[in-house]
Amino acid sequence: MRIALEVVTLIVIGALLLMVAQEMPAFGDPANPVHNEVSEFYLENTQEETGVQNVVAAIITDYRGFDTLGELTVLLTAIAGLLAVLRS
């Protein structure tokens, strides 16, 4: 009974993955979400808005600062949890 449930679960997950893969846009299609105006805005306005030469550093620190802070919080929480588990 348990093996049958596992097989059915895997078949459902596989079917869902195939359905999602069919909905993906074609590779190189100019209508892909990757090719939107956000990256163009960053490249054109980074230096004059932030005064930084490095576009990647400006995006991480200036444009997406709160997102980066959240990622660091999650990372430090995970490290603290891991250290707490390993010390006991």
pLDDT by residue (tens digit) across 7-36?
A: 999 999 999 999 999 988 888 888 787 777
Average pLDDT over residues 40-55: 88
Report the chain's mean pLDDT, rounded to a whole number: 89
CB 74 within 8 A of CB 81: no
Domains contained in the chain, number: 1
Task: Give CA–CA dist 47/50, Å, rounded.
Answer: 6
Q: Is the dihedral of CA 72, 78, 79, 80 positive or negative?
A: positive
What pLDDT score was predicted for residue 14? 97
Q: What share of the chain is helix, strand, coil (3-state, %, to 5)?
A: 75, 0, 25
| Dihedral-angle region of residue 26 (phi above 0 means left; psi in -120 to 50 means alpha; beta otherwise) | beta
Query: 82 is in which domain, residue-wise?
Result: 2-87
